[in-house]
Amino acid sequence: MHGKEAELLMAGFVYVARCLAEGDTATLRRMGLGWPDLRALNRLGLGDVLHLVRQAATAPFLEIRFDRATFQRQLERLEAQRQAEDQRLALLQGDAPQAMLHDLFGTTLKEYYTYRRLLGLGPCAERRPRAPDDATLRAVWRAWQAHGLDRLPEGPQPEHYLVLHQATGLSLRTIWPLAREWVNAGLRTRAGN
């Protein structure tokens, strides 16, 4: 066995040796090694390992396989996390208040201010926004209805707030309290008319 295959097998032996040195026999047992194998491995020297690596070309004893189904699930989870992070950043750029990000993502106050600083948004005095005037209230409600947010059984998600922000041009700091009030009141058909 030569080249990359030999390197992979040697890396496998290094991993096994590390597990042995750390006393991690549970991992080695999950790999399929029994107690006699572990005792034999403990007695091997470097020369013995090199000999086994050369012999593996004709009698392979280590199988490394790729679990595609598990890999795909991990990729899907990674993509969902990436999308959530993109939404969080977009909400921050739309001037989302910390309470909103906490409710949607569990963002702490420290994380909130760190994100704002990293995005160059500057300090933000967490203050209660002024009550919206009638025109603002109607604009948000029209966008809310136009995008079907009054019919969501689970309530609005991050992407829905971004739609409201883009449709109205208003700060999420203005939109959030209205939306939260409508969701909490269970309003589905009328508000601010």
- Residue 190 within any structural domain of the chain: no
Q: What is the Cα–Cα distance from 89 to 94, expressed in whole angstroms?
A: 9
State yes or no: pLDDT of 155 exceeds 90: no
Give residue 10's pLDDT: 81
Domain that holds residue 38: 3-55
Give residue 160's pLDDT: 93
- Residue 100 within any structural domain of the chain: no
Q: Which of 1, 8, 14, 7 is nearest to 54 (CA)?
A: 1
Query: pLDDT (tens digit, 9 = 90+) per residue, 23-77?
Result: 998 999 998 899 898 888 888 888 887 888 778 767 777 777 788 999 899 999 9
pTM of the model: 0.66
Which residues 6+ apart lie within 8 Å of 107 measured at CB? Answer: 88, 98, 101, 115
Higher pLDDT, 3 or 33: 33
Percent of the chain with pLDDT over 90: 43
Query: pLDDT (tens digit, 9 = 90+) per residue, 98-149?
Result: 999 999 999 999 999 999 998 998 776 556 667 888 999 999 999 998 988 8
Q: What is the Cα–Cα distance from 148 to 146, expressed in whole angstroms?
A: 6
Q: Which of 16, 4, 6 is nearest to 42 (CA)?
A: 16
- Residue 13 within any structural domain of the chain: yes
Which of 55, 71, 99 is where one domain is finished? 55
Q: How confident is the model at residue 162 (pLDDT cuts 50, 70, 90)?
A: very high
- Residue 32 within any structural domain of the chain: yes
State yes or no: pLDDT of 92 exceeds 90: yes
- Domain count along the chain: 2
